[in-house]
A and B are shown apart, each in its own frame.
Chain A
Amino acid sequence: MTAVDGVSFEVERGEIVGIVGESGSGKTMTALSILRLVPEPGRITNGRILFEEQDVVQMTDEEIREFRGNDVAMIFQDPMTSLNPVLRIGFQVEEAMAAHRRFSRRQAMERVVPLLQRVRIPAAAQRVRDYPHQFSGGMRQRAMIAMGVSNQPSLLIADEPTTALDVTVQASIIELTRELSRELRASVILITHNMALIASLCQRVIVMYAGRIVEQGPTRAIFKNPQHPYTWSLLRSMPRIDEQTHEKLISIKGLPPDLGKLPAGCKFHPRCRFRIDRCLTEEPTLDEVDPGQLARCWVLMKNVADPEAAR
C-alpha cells in the first residue's frame, strides 16, 4: 500500500506551511517521514528529505538522533500519549534538553521554569513539580510545546496540535505557535484537517488527497482562487461562523479513498463533480497554474464557467 506517493515540497527558514487533508490523505505519514519515524512495517522506499544540506534518509542512527533532538521538534495531537504519566513535568522538560546535549544538566535545570513561563503555564515555578494528570489538556499541550522548543529547533512539526482542545484554548495555542516561530526563526509545518486554522497561521498551504499533493501555493491564492475541485469543495463544505445567509453546504459525495484500492486516473475523480473523460484514465500531473500555485487537475476551476451551479 502506498500511503504517500511522490510528494515534494520545500519549507523556507521561518516559514509556516500547512498540510491539510482528511483521514488517509497521507498528511501525517509525510510529517513522520521527515523525522524518519514512519511506523513499522512502513518505510520510505524512494526520495530524499533534505534538511539544510543533509539527506535525512541517508543519516546514520547517531546523526538522526542528533537531528531529531536538536533541529526538529514534533508536537502531537494528544499530549498525554507523549508525556510520561509517572514523571514530574519539570523533570521531563529537563530530560528533553539533557538528552540532546545542547545544554548541560545544570543549564537545563535552570531553563525549565522560564520555558514553562514562556508557554504561559500559570505558577510555573510551583507547577514544575506536578505530574501530567494534574494538568489540563491545554496545559499539557503547552508543556509539550515547551519540551519541543527547549533545544531551540529550527523546524517544528505540529500534527493536529489543537484538535483535542476547546476552541478558546486552541486560540491561545495558535498564538503561542506564531510567537515562538518568530522568536526562534523556526519553520513550522502544521498538519491539520481544519482549513480555517491554515488561513489563520500559514503562509503556504499543501492540500493532500490519497497520498498525493493535489494543490499547493500561497495561502491567499489557494483560498481566493482554488484551482483543484477538491480544495474548492473543501472550502465550501464547512459552515463558517460569519455566514450571513443560510445556504446549503456543498458536500463532497462518497467517501475518502481506500488506499488499498485507489481508482485509475485522477484519484479524486469518483467524487468530483467537474470531471471529464480524461480524468477516469489518466492521472494529472502537478503543474504550475499561477505563479507559485500548483494543481493536479485536468480541468482546473478557472475553466469551469459556473461552479456553484453544479452543486
Chain B
Amino acid sequence: MTAQATAADDPALRKALVRVEDVVKYFPVGGGLFGRAVVHAVDGVSLTIQPGETLGLVGESGCGKSTLGRVIVQLLTATSGHVYFKDVDLTRVRGEKLRRTRQQIQMIFQDPYASLNPRMTVGDIVAEPLRNFRVARAREAERRVQEVMRVVGLNPNFVNRYPHEFSGGQRQRIGIARALVLNPTFIVADEPVSALDVSIQAQIVNLMEDLQDKFDLTFLFIAHDLSVVRHMSDRIAVMYLGKIVELGPSDSIRDKPLHPYTKVLESSVPVPDPDLEAARKPILLKGEIPSPVNPPSACRFHTRCPIAQKICSEVEPPLEMKENGRFAACHFPGKL
C-alpha cells in the first residue's frame, strides 16, 4: 500500500472539521499530605471528525467519554494536547477569535432536568446564547427563538412557560433548540436520550437525524448504549479507561470488531428477538473495571482480556490502522 493510497482511503486524513490531538485530561483526587494522585480520565486521545458526519463515542461509565466531549467543546481545559476546529486551536486561541469560533460549537446534555435553569422561561433559555454572543436584538431574537422552537417540534406559544411544565422529551427539545439557535456547525451530544422513556427516545433520535440533514450538522454522539450509537453514527470510537481502543466505520465494526473489548461490548447487548437471544452467548468479563487512578500498564484491557498474552502487559499497543479506515489499539486484532 502506498502512502497516497492510504491517505485517499482513510477518511481521517481528509479535511477534518474537528481534529483532536493527543488530548490528556487528569483530575486531581484527594488532597492529603501528598495530594499527588490523579484520575487519568482521558489519556492521549487523537481523532478527527469529518464535516457532516456523526462520530459515535461509546464506552462504559468512567471510561472518559463525557470528559473528552467536554474538553472538545472547551467546557473543561485539557491538561495537554490540542483541539482544532477548522484549524483554529481551541486550546490556544483567546478573546474575540475564541468567541467567534465557539459560536459554531454547541452541546446537548443528558439530563434535561438538570441542564435547564428552572427560574428562566423557555424563551429566555433558548435566547440566552443569542444574548451571550450579542448576535440578535430583541425583536430579531424573539423571531429566531420562535423559529427554532418550531424546528424542534415545540409550540412557539410556550415561550413564557417554565421547564417544569414540560415532560422529559419536551425538555430535551428545549435543550436542542438552545443548541441550534446560533446556527452551529458542530454539536456534541452527551447521552441525549438515555434519560428518556423508550417511546420518546425514538422521537429525539429521529429529530436529531432530521436536523442533521436540514442544517448540515456534524455530531459527536456520546452514549453508553451501543445500539443507539450504531443507529446514529457513520463511524464509532470505542473508549476504555481513558483511551480509544477502536475507531472505524459503524458497519464494519458491527460485522467484525477488531478489538477484544469491542467484541465483548457487542456480545453483551441484547436484541429484541427471542430466537437470536437464545443463540447469543455473551462474553463475560472477569473482574471489575480497574481504577483510572492506577490504570494497568501497557494495554489497559489486558487484566480482563480473554486473549491477553505476555506482550499485552509489557508493550502498549498504539491505535493504528489495521485495515482501510479501521483503527485498533491491540496486539491481536480480530483474534477474539
Contacts and interface: CB of A to CB of B under 8 A. Distances in A.
Interface string A234-253: 11011111110010111111
Contacts of B232: 239
B199 A251 contact: yes
Contacts of B264: 168
A252 B199 contact: yes
A166 B202 contact: no
B315 interface: no
A166 B206 CA distance: 25
B273 interface: yes
B269 interface: yes
B39 to A, nearest CB: 16
B268 A170 contact: yes
Nearest to A135: B288
B272 A239 contact: no
A17 B269 CA distance: 20
Interface stretch (A31-39, A48-56, A196-204): A196-204
A61 B92 CA distance: 69
A223 B228 CA distance: 20
A237 B202 CA distance: 5
Interface residues of B, number: 45
Nearest to A237: B202
B268 A168 contact: yes
Interface stretch (B7-15, B64-72, B274-282): B274-282
Interface residues of A, number: 45
Contacts of A200: 270, 277, 280
Given A175-B284, A252-B199, A197 B205 contact: no
Q: Which among A168, A197, A256 has the greatest number of chain B C-beta atoms within 10 A? A: A168
Contacts of B135: none
A172 interface: yes
B270 A197 contact: yes
Interface string A168-208: 10111011000000000000000001111111100000000
A167 B224 contact: yes
Interface string B234-249: 0000000000000000
Given A195-B272, A196-B272, A199-B272, A167 B198 contact: no
Nearest to B58: A167
B30 interface: no
Contact of A238 (B202, B265, B277, B288): B202
A196 B203 contact: no
Contacts of A251: 199, 202-203, 205-206
B209 interface: yes
Contact of A234 (B199, B203, B209, B288): B199
B203 A253 contact: yes
B96 interface: no
B199 A172 contact: no
A69 interface: no
Interface in A64-91: none
A1 interface: no
A138 interface: yes
A195 B254 CA distance: 21
A238 B272 contact: yes
Contacts of A242: 254, 271, 276
A122 interface: yes
B254 A241 contact: yes
B270 A193 contact: no
Interface string A250-287: 11110110000000000000010000000000000000
A271 B206 CA distance: 17
A171 B198 contact: no
A96 to B, nearest CB: 24
A260 to B, nearest CB: 14
Contact of A167 (B200, B206, B209, B268): B268
B202 A252 contact: yes
B169 interface: yes
B197 A22 contact: yes
Contact of A22 (B198, B205, B267, B287): B198
B268 A136 contact: no
Given A234-B198, A252-B199, A241 B269 contact: yes
Contact of B199 (A171, A197, A256): A256
Contact of B205 (A174, A239, A252): A239
Given A167-B269, A234-B199, A256-B197, 6 more contacts: A22-B197, A168-B60, A171-B282, A194-B198, A195-B272, A200-B270
Interface of A: 22-23, 122, 136, 138-139, 166-168, 170-172, 174-175, 193-200, 219-220, 223, 233-235, 237-243, 246, 248-253, 255-256, 271
15 contacts: A23-B197, A136-B288, A167-B265, A168-B268, A170-B268, A171-B284, A199-B277, A234-B199, A237-B199, A237-B202, A239-B230, A246-B231, A251-B202, A255-B167, A255-B169
Interface of B: 60-61, 167, 169-170, 197-203, 205-206, 209, 224-228, 230-232, 254, 264-277, 280, 282, 284-285, 287-289
